[in-house]
Amino acid sequence: METLRQNPFDFVIDAEFAALPWGGRVDQAHPGSGSALLGPMEPEAAELAGTVRREGGNDALSFLLRLNRWLNEKLAYEVRPEGQPLAPGETLRRGKGACRDLAVLFCAAARSQGMPARFVSGYHEGDPGLRTKDLHAWAEVFLPGAGWRGFDPSTGLACADRHIVLAASPAPAGAAPLSGRFGSRTAESTLEAEILFL
């Protein structure tokens, strides 16, 4: 696979959306981009977003970069290969989270400012010395004038050519690599996958 976006900042946000909060204005100006991706208000995430805004002002892109950096620096990253993402408040209380927990928290904080956000699963190049890669998660925010742009709080980076999107959804379950059900109480199953970077 070849990825072409080397510069994650190759855009200009519409002047109308340069400052926060956005409220419901995105969906009015860009139909179909936002209302389903605003989601329910998460109080702990809204409080975090307010703190980040107070510390650095209302510029929309600066807010997203500060939020990304805050999550990366203040919350420890943990590997947790199984389980649903934690609620934003739980991740904050624990002071740590897996990539999917940090992505859910990032989305909730952005949404509290009226910014449409979605959960993304895919792959990140990570350590070039490792041949195998695990599935990764991050967030995307719709920026009028720029479209959907990725932010990875696990690494503290804006996404460019080292992130490969497989699926994006308002809720993590919509971007899960596999889902299903068994009808028997005795059924067991395992799934193993391996991605090699050559």
Instruction: Let me know: does 150 contact 139? Beta carbons within 8 Å.
Output: yes
- Statement: residue 158 has pLDDT above 90: yes
Looking at the domain that runs over 18-175+189-196, which CATH code has it been given? 3.10.620.30
CA distance 82 to 77: 15
CA distance 113 to 131: 39
- Statement: residue 79 has pLDDT above 70: yes
What is the model's pLDDT at position 19? 92
CA distance 95 to 122: 24
Region 112-123 average pLDDT: 92
Choose among 108, 104, 116: nearest CA to 45: 108
> C-alpha angle 155/157/160, rounded to 5°?
120
- Statement: residue 142 has pLDDT above 70: yes
Residue 9 phi, psi dihedral angles, 5° rounding: -115, 35
Alpha helix locations (H) across 13-143?
25-29, 43-56, 60-74, 88-94, 99-111
Domain ranges of the chain: 18-175+189-196
Lowest mean pLDDT among 1-5, 73-77, 144-148: 1-5
Region 31-44 average pLDDT: 66
What is the model's pLDDT at position 149? 95
What is the model's pLDDT at position 1? 58
- Statement: residue 76 has pLDDT above 70: yes
> C-alpha angle 142/143/148, rounded to 5°?
45
Contact partners, residue 19, CB within 8 Å, separation at least 6: 58, 59, 60
Region 3-16 average pLDDT: 85
CA distance 79 to 24: 35
Lowest mean pLDDT among 2-11, 70-79, 128-137: 128-137
What is the model's pLDDT at position 198? 46
Between 99-111 and 60-74, two packed helices, what is the crossing angle to 10 degrees? 150
For residue 18, give Cα distances in angstroms to 59, 144, 157: 6, 9, 20
- Statement: residue 112 has pLDDT above 50: yes
